[in-house]
Amino acid sequence: MKLPETTEWALHTAAVLAQLPADSTISGAQLAVHFGVPNPYLSKQLAKLVRGGILTGSTGPRGGFRLARPASQITLLDVVAAVDGVSDPYVCRELRQQGRGSARPEDCTRPCALAAAMHRAHDAWLESLRAVTLGEIAAGLAPEVIAKNRRLLVEDPLPHR
């Protein structure tokens, strides 16, 4: 499974917001600086997370982003689905029915074993992402990591831009 780099950005952004007090709002610019990623591209992912119900966004001098619901209620699958969707990347083109070694159509009434295995793998991947919440990710971090992120983003942040 290969996901775009921006999916990593969305996952890390959501995970860092899960580490902050619930009433904290962090600007997209602050998050871009925090992770060292381009603000315009991160902004697109943040907008997808808002549309997907993962984040809420507000404007104004104290505006920014925060989780839309408790971290314990947001799965990794929720985040990935919001930014990339969850369609199965494997497309069976019925190669078994092509070329010199082709199978007869009547022998291909069910999906081939490869397609079935790939679909099961995709389903397992989705289930594994569904089984982990942002709350669990945050809870598994070392206390000093959480303290550093809170200090840099909430207690001593860069000015909102």
Residue-level pLDDT at 59: 84
Q: Which residues of the chain fall short of a pLDDT of 70?
A: 158-161
Q: How far apart are CA 71 and CA 73, in angstroms?
A: 5
β-partners of residue 150 are none
Q: What does R_g of the chain's alpha carbons equal in angstroms?
A: 21
110-143 tens-digit pLDDT: 889 999 999 999 999 999 999 999 999 999 999 9
Residue-level pLDDT at 108: 86
Residue-level pLDDT at 61: 74
- pTM score > 0.95 for this model? no
125 contact partners, CB below 8 Å, separation of at least 6: 1
Q: Which residue in the block uniquely carries the two structure tokens 């602050």?
A: 30
The closest of 26, 125, 2, 35 to 75, measured between CA atoms, is 125
